[in-house]
Amino acid sequence: MLNGKTAVVTGASRGIGKAISLCLARAGADLALIYAGSKEAAEGVCKEAKKLGAKAISYQCNVADWSQSKAVCDAITQDFSTVDILVNNAGATQDNLIVRMSEEDFDAVIGVNLKGAFNFTRHLARALMKSSSGRIINITSVSGLMGNPGQANYSAAKAGVIGLTKTVAKELAARGVTCNAVAPGFIQTDMTASLPQAVKDYAHTATPLRRMGSADEVAETVAFLASSQSSYITGEVIRVDGGLCM
Ligand code: NAI
């Protein structure tokens, strides 16, 4: 399905990013995997992808940094003959109520979640336009759709990602590139593992499907958006949230 395509996935060393990377590799894509800190974990994902028959290279990068992102995107376009799929998945939270939130925590969360998606889209846009079927998939959150107490920075960043998604969809449509967003609800990963038990209990009761989702359930939706099966979908936000935000 994705044979001959190259996918760039940010935040690929664990959680949802790892699941997306391996799902795309299973569908036949080669992988440029972006990680922030753990080379060992990123190399582990590369190894698994190679077992699936993919070419896979990992690159260390703070996605919030313009120059580092540019250098890595330039390296990717040298190392792979095409860039067809970009998944802006890297994300981070620094939760606090608005009355206590520091400027640093606001800027850091906007930096990773929103500017990171901008940086990689900006630096890979020309390469994606050269692809016969360019695809950009941004991982946003239900927090960006409905707000969430304690997450002013994160909700603002993820809502910003939706605005970015729709504008990029309109700008690049004429070049055959689609741009969509996936909005997960409560998904079992390191990000949610540290939530207080009361929030985990809330996740179950507030979600109509009465459970948290898995990283693979998000990854399957991303793989659909990366495939030719989604060719007439652009500027869309698909919730993968068990019905939480309806
Ligand atoms: P995670 O914390 O397990 O993974 C996040 C990844 O982003 C990590 O690999 C981390 O190293 C990377 N990252 C963080 N800062 C970075 C930076 N400056 N530069 C490069 N990489 C960086 O979290 P998870 O759950 O896998 O989240 C993946 C995406 O899904 C994020 O965008 C998150 O906001 C989003 N999401 C997650 C939900 C959940 O319930 N787990 C719900 C809604 C959205």
Q: Confidence band (pLDDT; 50, 70, 90) for 65?
A: very high
Probe target for ligand 1 pocket from 191, 199, 200, 245, with the most ligand atoms within 8 Å of CB: 191
Q: What is the pLDDT of residues 146-193, one digit of tens each?
A: 999 999 999 999 999 999 999 999 999 999 999 999 999 999 998 889
Mean pLDDT along residues 44-68: 98
Comparing CA positions, the residue from 129, 117, 132, 124 lying closest to residue 182 is 117
What gap in Å lies between CA 184 and CA 148, rounded to an integer?
14
Q: How far is the CA of 193 from the centre of ligand 1 (A)?
A: 12
pLDDT at residue 245 tops 90: yes
Among 118-132, 142-156, 193-207, 214-228, name the one with the lowest average pLDDT.
Answer: 193-207
Q: Is residue 195 pLDDT above 90, yes or no?
A: no
What's the first-to-final CA gap in the chain, in angstroms?
A: 32
Instruction: Please answer whether residues 135 and 84 qualify as being in contact, where contact means their C-beta atoms are separated by less than 8 angstroms.
Output: yes
Instruction: Kindly give the distance from the C-alpha atom of residue 139 to the centroid of ligand 1, in angstroms, as a whole number.
Output: 9
| Residue of the CA atom closest to atom 2 of ligand 1 | 191
Confirm whether 35 is a catalytic residue: no
- Give mean pLDDT, residues 221-246: 98
Q: In this structure, what token pair is assigned to residue 161? A: 């990602």
Atom of ligand 1 nearest to the CA of 213: 40
Question: For the residues 59-78, what does the mean pLDDT come to?
Answer: 98
pLDDT digits (tens, 9 = 90+) for 19-37: 999 999 999 999 999 999 9
Ligand 1: list residues with CB < 6 Å: 10-11, 13-17, 36-37, 61-64, 89-92, 112, 139, 141, 184, 186-187, 189-192
Can you give the pLDDT at residue 194? 86
Q: How far apart are the CA of 88 and the centre of ligand 1, in A?
A: 10
Query: Distance between CA atoms of 142 and 132, rounded to whole angstroms?
Result: 31
pLDDT of residue 191: 87
- Residue 147 φ/ψ, nearest 5 degrees: 75, 160
- Local confidence band at 234 (pLDDT 50, 70, 90 cut-offs): very high
For CA atoms 223, 54, 177, 8, the dihedral sign is positive
Contacts of 144 by beta carbon, 8 Å cutoff, 6+ apart: 154, 155, 157, 158, 159, 160, 161, 162, 183
Q: Distance from the CA of 17 to the center of ligand 1, in angstroms?
A: 7
- Is residue 136 within 8 Å of residue 179, measured between CB atoms? yes
Does the predicted TM-score (pTM) go above 0.85?
A: yes
Q: 11 C-alpha to center of ligand 1: Å?
A: 6
d(Cα 107, Cα 214) in Å, to the nearest integer? 29
Note the pLDDT of residue 220: 98
pLDDT in tens, 101-142: 999 999 999 999 999 999 999 999 999 999 989 999 999 999
Token pair listed for 164: 């970015």
Q: Identify the three-state secondary structure at position 10.
A: strand
How much of the chain, in percent, has pLDDT values that exceed 90?
95
Q: Which atom of ligand 1 is nearest to the CA of 139?
A: 32
Give residue 62's pLDDT band: very low, low, confident or very high (50, 70, 90): very high
Q: Of all atoms in ligand 1, which is nearest to the CA of residue 215?
A: 26
Which residue CA neighbors atom 23 of ligand 1 most closely?
A: 191
